[in-house]
A and B are shown apart, each in its own frame.
Chain A
Amino acid sequence: MDIFLQQIINGLTTGSVYAIVALGYTMVYGVIQLINFAHGEVVMIGAMVAFTVIMAIVGAGAPLPPIVIVLAGVLAAIPVCMTVGFLLERVAYRPLRHAPRLAPLITAIGMSIILQQLALLIWGRDPRAFPQIMENTSFSLGGAAISSVQIAIILMSIALMAVLTWFVYRTKFGIAMRATAENVSVAGLMGIDANRVIAGTFIIAAGLAAVAGVMYGTYYGIAHYTMGFILGLKAFSAAVLGGIGNLAGAMLGGILLGLVEALGTGYISEFTDLCKWPVVGAEGMLMERCAADGHVVLFGSNYQDVFAFLVLIMVLVFRPSGLLGERVSERA
């Protein structure tokens, strides 16, 4: 099996999910300069709601094709998440619109904890296994394998990104969103109600999060009330990598982060295999163990989560504005 190609495929899959979640962070930031740290929890709620609906349909033994069952899960998750996103803005962030920027930021972290605890009350603390209702066929592709779920996730993400781009650049509401992001008081002079645009932005971001949650849950076959936390942080890192506030940046950042993570995970054990490196001082002991086990690995694939945050730190040090972002001083 070709590890490189395999990890590219895996990275594209998780990267697509990161991109869809990162879009939510970047859209909200673009319009009100708030990092909505509760966004990851909206993704989790999407996965949980879809899981519940799918289990209910499967449990009722309805003779429906698997794709219809999953679709029903998605269609149930979207309005629930949109409602959560709308309420988040209305209840938690709007009263703090003119407060110092630290206040909404801390509120966002608080909302993240509240949503997590609510999910714990509703769905319990045990991880829920997504039922394997879809036949996960694998196709071979140049020495690597790509599954039908992976193909579905990548295609779905591309479709979502295309629709969102069309919406933001071609519809009146989308142009009003960009105008509000640039100058909220002048947008008001045009008759644009900032409250409506901001609410709309949260609703769209939450809708994307719902789909991302189902994709993530289906891919890993599991949903858990804490799953939104790390996923949210990674997607936030992806948005920063691409340049926060920039839509194309969030898409690029998500895909790149997925690839970095997959390739890093794929190769870290090989690169940190002490048997392949001349280690001074412990040759005797090491040679014995290498002879016995074949490899002595310093860091294994359980270090997967490290890469996203390494990338975040590197971006913040070397290019704080991100790959496609403008210099921060230029932002209104």
Chain B
Amino acid sequence: MASSSPEKGYALLEALNLEVHYGGIAAVKGVSFAVEEGELVCLIGANGAGKTSTLKALARMIPSSGEIHYRKERLDRQPSHLLIGKGMALVPEGRGIFARLTVAENLAMGAYHRNDKDGIAADLAHVYTLLPRLKERAEQVAGTLSGGEQQMLAIGRALMGRPQLLLLDEPSMGLAPLMVEKVFEVIRAVAAEGVTIFLVEQNARLALQTCSRGYVMESGRITLADTSDKLLADPRVRAAYLGE
């Protein structure tokens, strides 16, 4: 299933030689990777390795060089606000919920680009089934939610766009272990529904246990790419990321 040098037009999402610079500093130094339809792939690495910059570049939130292909379309010159309409959603680092809007308004914004009233209502019902806490708190201002609930809201909001590809940036960040487990249950459930997932995580063990395949990123470069089982067994990964 995995291919370290993906063929063009084959993958759902493909990055070629992606580079991100902040001023004169290179945060991402020419990475290439691919995510195929229906896959659950993770990108692991230490703090500051360039994982978030990679995701932000994919979502066109920051400028980058190199190519980004999505469904055979070049994304690297597109503005950020057109991506959700093409089926790509990002749950940003730190959740990025609209704290002053209610939970229901946050979810409505997730479907901003859509006009199919019935479809939106159906997806809202589906999100509320998947994340019942959101339904209980629908009229509450989102800033009053707990960290875990805010992460659930960020995921639910992304699902309201009915994405085919979901990019997740550190969904476990700042959450208690029990909550992390719940968030990852939701991620697995979303993947089971056929949504392709590209997951960025510092929690390497959990990420690799959840995904079928992974990339390891170190100071702006991808240094390892393999199936999760092999990465979990790799002595370098075990030493650097699994604390063994």
A residues with CB within 8 A of B: 172, 175-176, 178-179, 182-183, 185-194
Binds A, one of B18-26, B80-88, B185-193: B80-88
On whether A186 and B82 interact (CB within 8 A), knowing A172-B108, A192-B109, the answer reads no
A188/B80 in contact, CB under 8 A: yes
List CB contacts (< 8 Å) of B105-138 with chain A. Answer: 105, 108-110, 112-113
A186 / chain B contacts, CB cutoff of 8 Å: 92, 96, 98
Is there an interface contact between B96 and A189, defined as CB atoms closer than 8 Å? yes
B173 to chain A, nearest CB (A): 16
Contact partner of A182 among B59, B61, B99, B161, CB < 8 A? B99
Contacts A182-B101, A189-B59 known; list 6 others, CB within 8 Å.
A172-B108, A176-B109, A185-B80, A187-B109, A188-B61, A189-B61
Docked CA distance A139–B13 (Å)? 72
Q: In the complex, what residues of A have CB within 8 A of residue B157's CB?
A: 190
Check A175–B85 contact: CB distance below 8 A: no
11 contacts between A and B (CB under 8 A): A178-B98, A179-B98, A179-B109, A182-B98, A182-B100, A183-B98, A185-B96, A186-B96, A188-B81, A190-B161, A192-B81
Which residues on B sit within 8 Å (CB–CB) of A190?
81, 84, 109-110, 112-113, 157, 161
| Residues of A contacting B92 in the complex (Cβ-Cβ under 8 angstroms) | 185-186, 189
B217 at the interface (CB under 8 A from A): no
Closest A residue, CB atoms, query B100: A182
Q: Is the CB of B96 within 8 A of A175?
A: no
Q: In chain B, what residue has the closest Cβ to A178?
A: B101
Chain A residues with CB below 8 A from B43, complex form? none
Q: Which residues of chain B have C-beta atoms less than 8 A from A172's C-beta?
A: 108, 112
From the candidates B89, B96, B112, B161, name the one contacting A183 in the complex (CB within 8 A): B96
The answer to whether B61 touches A175 (Cβ under 8 A) is no
B200 proximal to A (CB < 8 A): no
Which applies to chain A's interface (DSSP): helix, strand, loop or mixed?
A: helix
* Shortest Cβ distance from residue A284 to the other chain B in the assembled complex, whole angstroms: 64
Please pick, from B61, B81, B100, B101, the residue contacting A191 in the complex, using a CB distance under 8 A: B81
Chain B residues closer than 8 Å to A185, beta-carbon distance: 61, 80, 92, 96
The reply to whether the CB of B90 lies closer than 8 angstroms to some CB of chain A is yes
Tell me which residues across on chain B come within 8 A of A183, comparing CB atoms: 96, 98
- What residues of A have a CB within 8 angstroms of the CB of B113 in the complex? 190-191
The one of A179, A182, A189 in contact with B80, judged by C-beta atoms closer than 8 angstroms, is A189
Tell me whether B101 and A175 are in contact (CB under 8 A): yes
A176 partner residues in chain B, CB cutoff 8 A? 109, 112
Give Cα A172–Cα B110 distance, bound, in whole angstroms.
11
For A169, the closest partner residue in chain B by CB is B105
Q: CB distance A191 to B108 under 8 Å?
A: no
Whole-angstrom distance between the Cβ of B129 and the nearest chain A Cβ: 22
Chain A residues, Cβ within 8 Å of B108 = 172, 175
B43 to nearest A CB, angstroms?
Answer: 18
Residue among A185, A188, A191 with the highest chain B CB neighbour number at 10 A: A191
Contacts of A191 in B (CB 8 A): 81-85, 112-113, 161
Q: Which residues of B contact A182 (CB under 8 A)?
A: 98-101
Residues of B within 8 A of A193 (CB): 79, 81
Q: Which residues of A contact B100 (CB under 8 A)?
A: 178, 182
Name, among A175, A178, A185, A189, the residue most crowded by chain B CB atoms within 10 Å (CB to CB).
A189
Near A by CB (< 8 A), chain B positions 49-101 give: 59, 61, 79-85, 89-90, 92, 96, 98-101
Q: In the complex, A183 Cα to B89 Cα: how many Å?
A: 16
Complexed CA–CA distance, A245 and B59 (Å):
29
B88, closest chain A residue (CB): A189
Closest A residue to B142 by beta carbon equals A182
Contacts of B101 in A (CB 8 A): 175, 178-179, 182
Question: Which residues of chain A have C-beta atoms less than 8 A from B85's C-beta?
Answer: 191
